Structures are given as structure tokens and as C-alpha cells.
Amino acid sequence: MNPGKGQTMWGGRFAATPSDIMNEINASLDVDRRMAGEDVAASRAHADMLAQMGILSASDNEAIQSGLDMIAAEMRAGTFPFRRELEDIHMNVEARLRELIGEPAGRLHTARSRNDQVVTDFRLWTRGALAQTSHLVTALQAALVRRAGENTSTYMPGFTHLQTAQPVTLGHHLLAYVEMLERDRTRLLDCAWRLNECPLGAAALAGTGFPIDRDMTAEALGFARPMANSLDAVGSRDFALEALSTLSIGATHLSRLAEEIVLWTSPQFGFAQLPDEWSTGSSIMPQKRNPDAAELIRAKASLITGLFSALQGAVKALPLAYAKDLQDDKRLTFEAFDTFDLCARAMAGMVETIRFKPDMMQAAAGRGYSTATDLADWLVREAGLPFRDAHHATGQIVALAESKGAELAELSLADLQKVNSAITKDVFNVLTVEASASSRTSYGGTSPVRVAEQVAQWTQRLRLE
């Protein structure tokens, strides 16, 4: 029956229409209109299957398919009449179909429910979003690998506790993020693989008595198989939770790099400068060059985690199967993807253009007794000391240098020999920043040779040549 003015499609048993506030809280169109393309695609697959199985006549299916063609064209042209009073995207498409083709439109909803329809659309949308986001992650990795390649022998202080620890190479530091992002990217792909089962045909919650072919709709929509349990199909959202938890971890990585950009571009560090395109000024302090994008990425990582947490909260106490709480899953998921994608793009832009200051980095790498471990290692290797004794002797040498306001390499041989008589002038060869970083040739280590190898591998893996 065609709903009359002011009536909903489900209004058969109701005497009165919903109140305005009820409509306001119930409507999801502003959010789920983003799944318009997916909704049309799923309806096409469903109608074709109904026709194939003899549940729908061939001529009705033709009418439905051509109506859906027109709707798709209207959507592309931006002329589709979205109507909030029709609640959601599914009702909007169906109502428009009825306007365009009349009676056969009412047959489309045979053997399906909005419950399986919405989650089919949502899985399709999320699958596409995961693919797009993984490409953005790859683009960021590519930018990092390029900058790492320029900086295989740029030396900087490596930190633990944000205290100078040992010299490292900038290339090595940047490649650490490439590794983290690779795990994020593959987590996104894992998630896409696991979500790729089709809920369509689960109907409201229990399946249907119509002789449908769920393999056919699954295949038409590019899913690996139909979901095996109808209650699970309409009631589960762990695919979205998995996507959001993955984005949350990825955003955490972006945030750590953002924090380093904030530190590095501060006058106190002076390791790097962001170009004008990626800086903002202060309305009162003319000298300021603020790394706003990096700061925003830092904050947005928490936002994404909050979105994950909100979805987890919505799902955790829901009895099976569908409940309207699940309508908000899309708002949270769309915002998480939009936010992450924007952050990934902004981070790639900053990484591509940030100007490193190798001299400042190298000078900082030489401060803070960063080669003390090299001195201790030398005592082990050349003077045969047990490492613990070498560590103790080096501690005494650092204290001596500190009292003189000098760096290790600035102490005289006589000073060093006062602490341990076995020390020779050869020790000075290991006390420089270059010598220290270059000596760390173990697999995964910071030496320029190892980093160059890693850059070459990543260049090949990401097909950057």
C-alpha cells in the first residue's frame, strides 16, 4: 500500500503519526545518505536474485532495475530528492522508486528487511573505506621512505625517557614509523578480509521462508560468502569495531610522529622547520610559526579512540539481534574514517615538506654524553673489562667531564687514564657521533649501511622507483 501524506512506510498499524521530536531522534538520513550508492547496489542484487528464483517476475525486475538506474543517475547529478521525513536512506530509495515506477517498487522489499539491508550497505561502505584508507597509509609510508632515503647518514640524538641516549640516524628514525604504519595497513586489510561476508537475506533476524539464493547476492556484491547465522548477520558490528580499533591504533602512531614534529620544530630543539604551507602564525606574537596540523593530529587520535569507545559502548549490552542503538554505528564509523584520512593526508604533507636541519641535529647528537656506551664498549673490547666494570668506569669519566663542563671527546688522554690506565688514544675514534652510529651495524640497527638497505627494500616494496 502506498503510504499517504504524513504516513510512514511501516504505518499500517498506527492511527497517529510520530511526533516531530520522535522524527528528529529517529531520522538517520543525514548520516546514512552516504551509503546511497551501496543501497542501490544491494537492491539491484536482491531484485535480480528474486527474479532468478522466480519470486519476482522478469518484467517487475526490469522495472525495478530501470528505476534504480534512474535513481543512480539522479544521485550522480545531485538531483535525487533526499527527504528527511522518510527517516533513512533505505526508505528514501524505495519511496523514490515507487514514484518512478509505481507498483513493482513495492515488491522489492520481499524477503528482506531494513535490518539486513542496512548492515549490507554498511559492510560495503566500510570495505571501500578500508581500501581508501590503506592507500592513504601507503602514501604516507612512501613520503617517509623518500625522506629516510635522503637522510640515511643524517645524525641526530636518539632518546629514551626523552633524555639523550645514543646517536641514531634520521633515516632510521623515520623508517620506524614506516614499520608501524605497515602493521596498521595490514590490520586494515585483515579487517576488510574478515568483514567480507554478506548479511543480505538474513531478513529481520531469522531468515526468510522465500526460496532465496544468498550465494547469488553475496557474489553479486563481491562478498566471499553469505553470513552463516542470520542473528549474527543483523546483530553484529564487530567489523566496525575492528575497523575503528585499527584506526585508533593507527592514529596513535600518527600522533606520536606529530608530537615529534612539535618537539623538533620548537626553537628549543631546532631540528626542523615546517614550511609556510604547514605552519600557522599567531595573532599577537609575530615571531610564531606554529605546527597546528601536528597538534590537531595529536588531539584527533583521542577523538578516534573515543569514537571506537562510543561504538563499543553501544554494542556491549545489546541482546541479539538488531536494536536501534545500532543506527549510530555509522555516524561514529564515518567520522572515524574521515578524521583518520584527513590526519594521514596532513601528515604526508608535513613529512614531504618539512625541512630538517642536519647541523642542529648532529650538534645535539654530540651533546649529553651520547657516546658513553661506545666508551664502555671500547673498554670491554680493547681493555678486556667486564661490561659492568666498564660501565662504572665510564660513569666516572662522565662525572669528570661534567665537572669540567666538557664533552667526552674534549677530555685529555691523561684525564681518561686517571680513571682507567688501560685507555689509549685509540678510544677517541669511537667517541664521535658518526663513529657511534656507524658502528651499530646489527640487523635493524641505526648505521647508515643498514638504513640504506632498509630504504632500498621499502622503495621496492612500495614500488617507489
**Segment near ligand ARG (CB under 6 A), from 13-21, 112-120, 290-298, 346-354?**
112-120
Q: Quick one: which of 114, 187, 237, 357 contacts ligand ARG (CB under 6 A)?
A: 114
Q: Quick one: which of 141, 151, 245, 327 contacts ligand ARG (CB under 6 A)?
A: 327
Site for ligand ARG in 353-392 (CB under 6 A): none
134 binding ligand ARG? (CB under 6 A): no
**Segment near ligand ARG (CB under 6 A), from 289-297, 323-331, 338-346, 439-447?**
323-331
State the nearest-atom distance from the C-beta of 155 to ligand ARG, in Å: 55
**Segment near ligand ARG (CB under 6 A), from 62-70, 156-164, 171-179, 320-328?**
320-328
88 binding ligand ARG? (CB under 6 A): yes
Residues in contact with ligand ARG, shown as a per-residue x/- string from 48 to 87 under the rule CB under 6 A: ----------------------------------------
118 binding ligand ARG? (CB under 6 A): yes
Query: Out of 19, 161, 403, 442, which one is annotated catalytic?
Result: 161
Q: How many CB atoms lie within 10 A of CB 52?
A: 15
State the nearest-atom distance from the C-beta of 231 to ligand ARG, in Å: 14
236 binding ligand ARG? (CB under 6 A): no
The residue (of 123 and 187) whose beta carbon lies closer to ligand ARG is: 123
Q: How far is CA 191 from the centre of its chain?
A: 12
State the nearest-atom distance from the C-beta of 13 to ligand ARG, in Å: 14
170 binding ligand ARG? (CB under 6 A): no
End-to-end CA distance of the chain: 62
Farthest CA pair distance, the chain: 101
The residue (of 88 and 94) whose beta carbon lies closer to ligand ARG is: 88
115 binding ligand ARG? (CB under 6 A): yes
The residue (of 32 and 60) whose beta carbon lies closer to ligand ARG is: 32
Whether 282 sits among the annotated catalytic residues: the reply is yes
Whether 391 sits among the annotated catalytic residues: the reply is no
Q: How far is CA 250 from the centre of its chain?
A: 4
The residue (of 322 and 458) whose beta carbon lies closer to ligand ARG is: 322
State the nearest-atom distance from the C-beta of 3 to ligand ARG, in Å: 15
The residue (of 118 and 376) whose beta carbon lies closer to ligand ARG is: 118
Catalytic residue numbers, as ranges: 161, 282
Provide the binding-site residues for ligand ARG, judged by CB under 6 A.
28, 32, 88, 114-115, 118, 322, 324, 326-327
